[in-house]
Chains A and B, each alone.
Chain A
């Protein structure tokens, strides 16, 4: 048996050497949706780009003893058994084009608005190794969103990964868009412009949704510094599962140019589902909720790309996760919470009450907290947060108690709590500067001590 395999390998190797053909050809022998098995590709590399002659494109996902598994990323015509597959000698890569700023680009470097490919571009790896620990520096510069409930209470720093999580229609994407628009305000206020880049990554969204986000950003003059990297819901599942990595590879290019990049991934639940689909089709053993064992690694290595790099540039990531029934303790949500540096939880209840942005202050967290705030914001913020949380907790317990019988301290706490809640209300696209936030909360903050 072993000798047989050995002979087989030796003879095939010999054949390759004799023919000296770099570009191998093979044949499709098995089809399972977008995962195909190909025989005959002996000299192919793991992750190499292959073309299915005249019909599409894919990359090598596994090399077996006698065949190769290819994940198809593009299929112009239906692939059939017996189709010829060619190797290319190139790694499967994505495209980085500076001119894609202000546009909507896909994995292949095509401008979705015009349908034409970008002309000036360079190839970049879809995924690069994680930035080593020693190349990172502390996350300590504020990344202002313009939203008081975030900047004051659960602040985000440049290089932080802050999850935005909540049910449908609670304003998750709106918070991301507000943040992107506010980056333009920040650049306008400062003299050195163009040092912030925003990347919005759409995973499995509809074309309609992506177009309306494009229009929204266009209307707010945010496109000069924003790129939309999109895999629509009718793209191949393989493409949907790769698109966040592509977006972050583009972000890494800008980070190494010493820019501060803000990346929004909308959303990771859809991403997890597309990866689960591929895994199950590839016969990987299912685990909890039928997700494969490496579902954590899928997101951890993606989100670890967010960092403050020693070169001065940074990548801030705002991943979005959609929940059901307000439950943030499901498998995927808790996985991602355990990766990010905090979460902004949006609740339907708050939204319906008109408490917008609908942040649930009780369960939201910023692990970096005051470390990414200026000294005065930190002082004000920690006082307000303590006061607010204590009010929310007390409110629950004493809701049925008689106000008149409460101690004066308790009554005062309830009054102040209500005022803070009111002050945190803010409409969309109406960012506040640090000074405006300080002004609005100054009185309440002084009380809070």
Chain B
């Protein structure tokens, strides 16, 4: 193959993530793919920088054994992925190859960077969308076309929550969905594929995986490839599409690794200078148009439990709502470990969710913030020293806190309790009842990991 194509350059420098190619002509552009073939097989590189006639390229895979002087050819069209109905039921690598042992008869492919949404095309849809997860629907309700960020440090339950949402929303709505695995565990990817297959749910879904064992090029490309699949479903099939990204922080992380290898000057904490534009490029593609919508759930890893991290902030700017998971809450065995004060949504607005829901959220937050203050007082003085009123707030707040725990379908194995979905109307009734003292005589532990309280 290689000798049939025109040789357009030679390899002159190699490091782990940067292969330099001396170009013979000017036709090479950014994002073009160069290929090199030897007895070890075909290696591919994507052009990310051109200085005069030297191109810096990122290799798709590791470059052990590569030598200087190799002749490279140009692969036309840049990175492509299938753009047809054939994507459903398939699991892709970030480079568009099908990995779940299914044959793909390619009908049509499309470049993964092409699509940009214009101002004119954009549609701000607003039908509400319920997840059946009490804390989410109550504190951070969402609408179709929303971007919901699920933030949390390591090991506080982001992936469990995103899987629960897949279970509750995708399974119930039966709408098309795309799952994009970025820099997360291969084990979880394998489990998700198997679960979807076993429950016959893979036929309306496509998945892309660039997991944490793969090089940063693979991890960052998974996002572009996955979005192209989602755009096909939105633009061509005119569907309301669900997009799950676990984990969008890993995209920036991968970009940082590439940027460092290119010897570009970093900003704080080693992030690339182009961080904001990188994330904007992909986030702006995740929007709705008249023909179809994209509702996305994006897990966002918080490095070193530092929520002020630049990358985390750059990503959350794009979100319509956010659920923040907190280690301090998880330590108390409260799952989902939601920090109610940092969990917000644009839809917490009397005009969107109604006056009653809005008022209950405000009142609940008032109780819980007083509770936090009281906890400190109690640590010094004990409960007995509190006023009647404060003692009431203290006990009811603990009940509220316990009430917002919920057994999850996807963690049945872990908790040994069957998962439940709760209607938002039921949640509102229960919260109102707790606030009004209906459950004052019930032991607080009775409210842990339940669905609704009233029958």
Contacts and interface: CB of A to CB of B under 8 A. Distances in A.
Given A300-B213, A343-B155, A402-B384, A129 B62 contact: yes
Interface in A119-147: 125, 127, 129-134, 136-139
Contacts of A409: 443, 445
A379 B301 CA distance: 32
A343 B153 CA distance: 14
Given A5-B22, A284-B260, A304 B186 contact: yes
A293 B10 contact: no
Nearest to B382: A400
Contacts of A43: 67-69
The residue among A13, A64, A159 with the most chain B CB atoms within 10 A of its own CB is A64
Contacts of A307: 186-187
A378 B383 CA distance: 36
A64 B53 contact: no
A163 B142 CA distance: 36
A438 interface: no
A401 B383 contact: yes
Interface string A177-188: 000000000000
A136 B153 contact: no
Contacts of A339: 185, 212
Contact of A133 (B13, B99, B271): B99
Nearest to A290: B270
Interface in A360-406: 362-363, 365-371, 378-379, 382-383, 386, 389-390, 393, 397-398, 400-402, 405
Given A296-B253, A331-B303, A378 B416 contact: yes
Given A47-B64, A65-B20, A331-B304, A370 B416 contact: yes
A410 B327 CA distance: 25
Contact of B213 (A130, A371, A401): A130
Given A129-B61, A285-B265, A288-B269, A9 B10 contact: yes
Nearest to A362: B331
A371 B413 contact: yes
Contacts of B303: 288, 331, 334-335
Contact of B13 (A64, A125, A398): A64
B305 to A, nearest CB: 4
A369 B413 contact: yes
Contact of A341 (B63, B69, B187): B187
A383 B414 CA distance: 11
B378 interface: yes
A304 B257 contact: no
Contacts of B66: 45-46
Contacts of B20: 65
A287 B383 contact: no
Interface string A25-44: 00000000000000000111
Chain A, interface size: which category? 35 or more
B222 to A, nearest CB: 12
A127 B63 CA distance: 12
Contacts, number: 227
B266 A287 contact: yes
Contacts of B417: 382
Contact of A371 (B100, B183, B414): B414
B54 interface: yes
Nearest to B12: A65
Interface in B35-73: 52-54, 61-69
Contacts of B253: 293, 296
A139 B191 CA distance: 9
A294 interface: yes
Chain B, interface size: which category? 35 or more
Interface string B210-225: 0111111000000000
Contacts of B67: 43-46, 63
Interface string B68-101: 1100000000000000000000010000000111
B375 interface: yes
Given A63-B13, A63-B68, A362 B382 contact: no
Contacts of B383: 398, 400-401
Contact of A131 (B10, B186, B216, B382): B186
Given A334-B153, A398-B383, A341 B185 contact: yes
A377 to B, nearest CB: 11
B294 to A, nearest CB: 25
Nearest to A397: B378
A1 B52 contact: yes
Contact of A134 (B100, B155, B269, B378): B100
A293 B331 contact: no
Given A46-B15, A301-B214, A341-B185, 8 more contacts: A1-B52, A45-B66, A293-B256, A293-B257, A334-B305, A366-B414, A367-B414, A402-B384
5 contacts: A45-B66, A46-B15, A296-B212, A362-B331, A382-B417
